Amino acid sequence: MQLFIFNQQEQLAAVLKENIKDPIWLEKINAENTLNFSYPAADSLASFLTEGNLVSFKDSDGNFQLFEITKVNETHNSDGLMKNCHCEHSFYELNDDWIEDRRPTDATAEYALSQALLNTRWSVGTVDVGGTNSIIFYQQSALKSIHEIIEKWGGEIRPRVVISGNSITYRYLDLFQTRGNVTKKRFEYRHDLKNIEREVDLSETKTALYGFGRGEETDTGGFGRRTNFNDIVWTKPPNPADKPAGQKWVEDVDAKALWGRPFEGTVRNRFGDFIDADETDPATLLQKTWDELQKRNTPRISYSLDVIDLEKLSGYAHDAVRLGDTVVIIDREFANPIEITARVIELQRHLTDPIQAKVILANFFPDAAGYFSRLKDLESSYQSWEALGRAVFKTTWLDGKINVLSNQIQTNDGKVSITDDNGILIENADQTKALKLLGGILAISNEKIADEYQWRTFGTGDGFVCDELLSGTITAQTISLKSDGETPAIIKSDNYVAGESGWIIKSDGNAEFTSGIISGTVKIGTSTDYFRAFSNIYVSSLELYLDSKCCVRLCASAAEPHALLFFHPTTGANMADIQGGTNMNFNLYTAGGIFNFDGGDIVGSHPAYLKSPVDGYKMLRDYNKGFTTSASPGISASWIYTYPEAFASATGLSIVAIVSNTAQPICVTISGKTTTSCTLYLHRTDGANLSASTTYRCDILLVGP
């Protein structure tokens, strides 16, 4: 026996011929396929035994098998320092090949397999599985897709490779209806036989099965009650069993007599179910259910023994044993001896000493998904649990509820039932709370009326619908409040009391907050005609209350009484005008001191002013004052400006003026100040003349006693 070692570039690097210790090749039908061996670490060829390199050998049928070294460790024993290599078959790599979306329809098993292997390093080999089916490969590995083919079409896989010219040239995956040979070998099992381990598992034995097919399509596009065979009648003979109309299951009376449970002088069936999600014909469904029952109506029995013992018992030559071979076993350990057709479902070969091979014979077929289909699930589970370990859960007040529910799960027996009408029904011990899964809907209830659950919470493929949700932290992109048309939908704090505490937001746009801090920009109103108040608050209409009395109103029009006009983003005005009646009185706090606005100080038609109660200084903006030029002005013009009444006879008055309605380069200078007026000079700074017969409007700011 030789082991061919290839490096990761798949170039032949070494050939091991001697000193190979205990090379054990373990193969299970549609499941595990591994190689383990040891080699002296001091040997120069041991350097090629590293993770990622490949190992190949020729099996008893002349096919090359190829394995990847996945684990290497070193141990000291009587043979010295040894390198121990664990290898997995190279077709495990199909677990790393990804399929986004492929949907073979009305296809043969061979075509479906070609689609599963598309864009991989593997090709379709020999396929003798018949029939056509449809299948969907969606966001899953190629290996998972292969096992779904096995579940749909049946069959057993055999990987093999072709090596020529020191290179791996082809990788093939065969799919047989059954592997191995149907032999005529038989032996009897008795308790006095040595070196045979026998295991009997009655846990999955069934004597009757319910059968369910494809769900009936509903008006909404979903699926309701599944197809069944309730109305089909079987009579024995010619049918294999009696099944009257209205009976929802089919039973095997012989299996029931052997394995049924005694009950009040009768024997009860061990019930189970069979589901074919694609079957729509009740008669065909009944036949399929019966066929499935024949696979499950006997305890799962396995026998583990050496092939040399198998040869002694049955005359079956040890070197002729193949995975999948069939033998007959007469088991006399049961009260009524049974004849079992058993297959070699697991074969452990010793590559340098064939008589050390071991077999497991069993009367059941291993789960097609088996070992490999769990690889991706285990990987996903590990990633999920790893992320779970890093996560921080904010439950706060919810901790108590979680603890209570956790205790209930651990101490409550509960009840699970599966029926055609109720689907999967999970109830607590006293049957006051339940979960129901049926027709693609998960329903939850904690209330009964007339012994009927009132389902209030539902989960479907479109989401969850519920009347109450308890949660610690909710993360969502959008939370939408939908009113019933009469009463607004609301979100509120649990301490909300109108006008007193907490907060509430209603779907009609109303809200109430006790207090709050807003760091960004606040815009109030529905139009773009906002007034900018302070530096970051925009309002179109706002009332400020003090002691339940309206003392200030901000509104969209400066012409409206009691208006406070600020910077307007549309017109670009950046000064303020204050208007008001005699009933308005408030303080304006600034870095320069406190200014008091008193409506009672308004004189004539001029705006009111701000006045400092400390030193009596007043500040007023006299805006939009118009001055019209002559028909032929020069580069400057002058006008007499009379102070507003509030500043009449004022001394020490400071005046600033600016032209606000033109882009011309004009400066305004002030001279000839008296106690009642001053002269304003408008001057073009670029040497050009002022525009003829044009009204120049000035904003004038006056500050004085």
Contact 324, 180 (CB under 8 A): yes
C-alpha dist (Å) from residue 436 to 74, 319, 344, 452, 472: 54, 55, 42, 13, 25
In tens, the pLDDT along 316-358 reads 776 788 899 888 888 777 766 777 888 999 999 999 988 888 8
Read off the DSSP letter of residue 368: S
Instruction: Give the tokens for residue 108.
Output: 């043969």
pLDDT of 400 reads 53
Categorize the per-residue pLDDT at 471 as very low, low, confident or very high, splitting at 50, 70 and 90. Answer: low
Domains of the chain (ranges plus CATH)? 3-91 (2.40.30), 100-178 (3.55.50.10), 182-202+299-370 (2.40.30), 211-296 (no CATH), 392-465 (no CATH), 503-608 (no CATH), 621-704 (2.60.40)
**Cα gap 29→180, rounded to integer Å:** 10
Is the pTM for the entire model greater than 0.85? no
pLDDT of 674 reads 85
- What type of residue sits at position 506? K
In tens, the pLDDT along 389-414 reads 333 334 444 455 445 444 544 444 56
- What type of residue sits at position 390? R
Q: In the predicted model, what is the mean pLDDT of residues 293-317?
A: 82
Residue 601 has pLDDT above 60, yes or no: no
**Cα gap 312→333, rounded to integer Å:** 20
Please tell me which residue, 350 or 644, carries the higher pLDDT value.
350
In tens, the pLDDT along 93-135 reads 999 999 999 999 999 999 999 999 999 999 999 999 999 999 9
How would you label 411-425 residue by residue, b for 16+ Cβ within 10 Å and e otherwise? eeeeeeeeeeeebeb
